[in-house]
Amino acid sequence: MLTVSNVGRIFPGGVEALRDTSLRLDESDFIALLGPSGCGKSTLLRLIAGLDQPTSGRMLWDGRPPAPGDIGFVFQDATLLPWSTAEDNVFLPLRLRGVSRSEAMPMVHAALHRVGLTGFETARPRALSGGMRMRVSIARALVTRPRLLLMDEPFAALDEFTRHKLQADLLDVWREAGCTVVFVTHSIYEAAFLARRVVLMTPRPGKIAREMTSALQPAAETRLDPAYAAFVAEISRAMQAALA
């Protein structure tokens, strides 16, 4: 889908956030970008989204470059419009493309249903819990049926029980939607549980230290699987070695 080729990003002021980074994204893959904070994970995600441009290197898309709606983005905060209902928040990406309300509503309700929010269509963000707000945010990213879903530490601010539930539900959503997911996290457990491929990053300057492939089932039961604990240990060792 996308080849990130020897990409570097130096911010004005001289911070080298990313150096010589190469990465391939395949169709229907689930990649975790894992690393300590400040190692350039968000920078890489923004470059992939086209929200920022690399200082060096290239981003090569297979076929046509992405159009608006081909990429969904979920931030650490739900970043909903506080004055709009859940429904209107999910409607937003379609509205910006000129889709009429009546045309959009079936898609909006399908997206809300997919994240388990049927019945909360007219609720305002203020009336929803943190986990539910994040679900609205995910529904908003899914409503355009993106080929690529980018998520920047989306569950980092949630309590552990809510986080586990959302992680399991995200796997279902991913399998149903069939899109590629790039999931930024600083949690080894989260990366090991979710990803098909774990990409380890190290800071100053940010770069990719290692890639690891998961042999686990992408399912909720995986958390109890001894192989999951083993994978967590393997990633931890690799991280220690990379940071040493």
Partner 1 sequence: MRGAPALFGLLALALWEAAVRLLGVPVYVLPGPIAIVQAFAADPVGLLESLTSTLFVTFAALAMAAVLGGAMAVAMSASRLAQAAIQPWAVALQVTPLPAIAPLIIIWVGQPFLALVVCATIVAFFPLFASTASGLASAPPELNDLFHLYGARRWQTMRLLRLPAALPYFLTGLRISGGLALVGAVVAELVAGSGGFASGLAYRILEASFRLEIPRMFAALVLLALAGILLNYGLGAIGQAILRRRGGV
Ligand X SMILES: Nc1ncnc2c1ncn2[C@@H]1O[C@H](COP(=O)(O)OP(=O)(O)O)[C@@H](O)[C@H]1O
Q: Interaction with partner 1 in 109-138: which residues (CB under 8 A)?
A: 124-126
Which of partner 1, Mg ion, ligand X, none does residue 43 bind (CB under 5 to 8 Å by kind)? ligand X
Count CA atoms closer than 13 A to 96's CA, side-chain side.
Answer: 10
- Which residue in 26, 51, 176, 243 binds partner 1 (CB under 8 A)? 51
CB of 190 to ligand X, least distance (A): 14
CB of 112 to partner 1, least distance (A): 18
- Which residue in 29, 77, 172, 234 binds partner 1 (CB under 8 A)? 77
CB of 182 to ligand X, least distance (A): 13
Q: Interaction with Mg ion in 14-73: which residues (CB under 5 A)?
A: 42
Q: Beta partners for 31?
A: 182, 197
CB of 175 to partner 1, least distance (A): 24
Q: Interaction with ligand X in 162-181: which residues (CB under 6 A)?
A: none
14: left (phi over 0), alpha (psi -120 to 50) or beta: left
Strand ordering across the sheet containing 30-34:
71-74, 148-152, 180-185, 30-34, 197-202, 207-213
Q: Interaction with ligand X in 35-64: which residues (CB under 6 A)?
A: 35, 37-43
CB 1 within 8 A of CB 61: yes
- Which residue in 53, 62, 97, 119 binds partner 1 (CB under 8 A)? 97
CB of 20 to ligand X, least distance (A): 15
Four-residue CA torsion sign, 17, 23, 27, 33: negative
First to last CA, the chain: 33
